[in-house]
Chain A
Amino acid sequence: MMLMKRRDFLKAGAAATALAGLYGCAGAGKSGGHVVVVGGGYGGATVAKYLRMWSEGAVQVTLIERNPSFISCPISNLVIGGTKTMADITVSYDNLKSKWGVRVVQDEVLTVDTGKRTISLQAGGTLAYDRLVLSPGIDFMWDEIPGLKPAAAQNQILHAWKAGPQTVALRKQLEEMKDGGVYALAVPKAPYRCPPGPYERACLVADYFKKHKPKSKVVILDANEDVQSKKPLFTKAWNDLYKGIIDYRNNSEVKDVEVASKTAVLEFDKFQADVLNVVPPHRAGQIAAQAGLKLINNRWVDIDWLTMESTNTPGVHVIGDAIFPAPTMPKSGHMANQHAKVAAAAIINLLAGEAPNPSPVVMNTCYSFVDAKNVIHVASVHQYDAATRTVQPVKGAGGVSAARNELEGKVALGWAKNIWADMLA
């Protein structure tokens, strides 16, 4: 009720501002407003905290998240490899509530009415917003792997590409597999969430096999022509550490599965495994399409890089893996956190009738474990380019590790600790 009043007040204010010009070229000032954030992952949790922090509490924030706690995808491959536990990658939303005053609602958003600026919730009722941030992550395109459409099939042939129960279940399958068994991992065509993730997973499963089930094998069925990230470093790790264990097969797109026999169906061939792990192709979380946002290739949300706002739906900002990425930009948790800060800064300005920052910068670092201790990184910096209206990678900046090393193993865990705090503490 109070929020509705605030919204009406803002609407009146916005109408007055419109007469003086769209953004009004106004001076500094902190205006309130109600922002609803959908999804409490790397993007959503960060934007919720930064909206509260940077507006000094002036902007009201409601975060809708279906899970009771945050569970991190980065570092989850170490749980699958057996050297970390779920507790190590789970963080509470309590600080967002108590320290930052974010209203956290555990629920599922069913629909967005972008005309009325409301969302409807599974538990019932609607919620009004002045601006909406969607950080829905990805949904899987089950139609692309028909055998995986039934829920029962999805519980046997796992993806474990959203950290949570699937992470635990995949670990259990690997523990139960006999020595001498074959673990096969199907990688979808790019773009997909976390480009180096599959290759890291292959390394960590191979590391587990090497120590505990030395007769077992890892087969990577990659739909792509080649390794998608840090190729020389991964290839070197496979040759140095996992020769005879990891078998990498390019151009091996999995088109279907035979669930009972754990068989992957390729274009001209079949591959039977003891543990079959299929990461299906994915697209922006379903709510993006439901809201009527413009999608590119019917998959990823087209956004304005100055505001992270949908190009066809004013007032709806989209961040994280769900967006159509800028050139060379990976779909990563780190990048979602960076999108969130661009969105938070822009939303605070827009609510105050000011223009957004005309020169946003985002950067990415991604650490991959090639065994329980050694890590390799890739980094990049992306600056807004007015001519192409997108963020472009800075030439000469960024790069990869010179070689795998234990120091970066410590940095990777320090990164996780700090980014989780940057989102949630």
Chain B
Amino acid sequence: MKLHTTVAALCLFAAGTAAQAADPNLGRNLAATCANCHGTNGKALAAPGSGLEPLAGVPKATTLQKLIDFRNGDKPASIMHQIAKGYTDAQLELIAAYFAAQK
């Protein structure tokens, strides 16, 4: 059991160090945290007056700039300024890239 735990820990460590570059699902997993409001894979359903925007197919640079502006307080928001601060630069980039790739 202890051996298994050690082996698992080593595997996790290896996966952890390579994850940012290698894990093809990291962007997918991060973008899924947005789906509650912005729809599965960024395909938001219309909600009049809510400002909940679809993100699927939006160019990466556009989404990334919005997220950075929210985070820095340069773009007014009801809630996104608070949420964008919870993610690292690398994570925001992965999220924007994932949504850009959705048809």
The residues of A with any CB-CB pair to B shorter than 8 Å are 21-25, 28, 49-50, 53-54, 306, 334, 337-338, 341-342, 345, 354-355, 357-363, 365, 377, 379-383, 386, 394, 396-399, 401, 405, 407-408, 410-411, 413-415, 417-419, 421-422, 425
Contact = CB atoms under 8 A, between A and B. Distances in A.
Contact of B37 (A25, A50, A365, A397): A365
A381 B85 CA distance: 8
A397 B85 contact: yes
Contacts of B74: none
Interface in B30-78: 30, 32-33, 35-40, 44-45, 47-52, 78
B86 A414 contact: no
Most chain A CB atoms below 10 A, which of B19, B26, B32: B32
B79 interface: yes
A398 B33 CA distance: 14
A354 B25 CA distance: 12
Contact of B78 (A22, A361, A397, A407): A407
Contacts of B52: 411, 414-415, 418
B79 A411 contact: yes
Contact of B91 (A23, A361, A417): A361
The 5 closest A-B pairs by CB, nearest first: A381-B86, A414-B47, A414-B50, A397-B86, A397-B85
B103 interface: no
B99 to A, nearest CB: 14
Nearest to B19: A358
Contacts of A413: 47, 50
Contacts of A24: 11
Interface of B: 4, 7-8, 11-12, 14-16, 19, 23-26, 28-30, 32-33, 35-40, 44-45, 47-52, 78-79, 82-87, 91
Contact of A25 (B14, B24, B86): B14
B15 A25 contact: yes
Contacts of A338: 33, 36
26 contacts: A22-B11, A23-B11, A23-B12, A337-B36, A341-B35, A342-B29, A355-B12, A357-B23, A358-B12, A359-B26, A361-B29, A361-B33, A377-B78, A377-B79, A381-B83, A397-B85, A398-B85, A399-B82, A401-B79, A407-B51, A413-B47, A413-B50, A414-B52, A418-B44, A418-B47, A418-B52
Nearest to A416: B47
Contacts of A362: 33
A411 B38 CA distance: 11
A363 B86 CA distance: 8
Nearest to B22: A28
Given A414-B52, A418-B45, A418-B47, 8 more contacts: A357-B29, A359-B16, A363-B33, A365-B36, A365-B79, A377-B79, A396-B85, A405-B78
B63 to A, nearest CB: 17
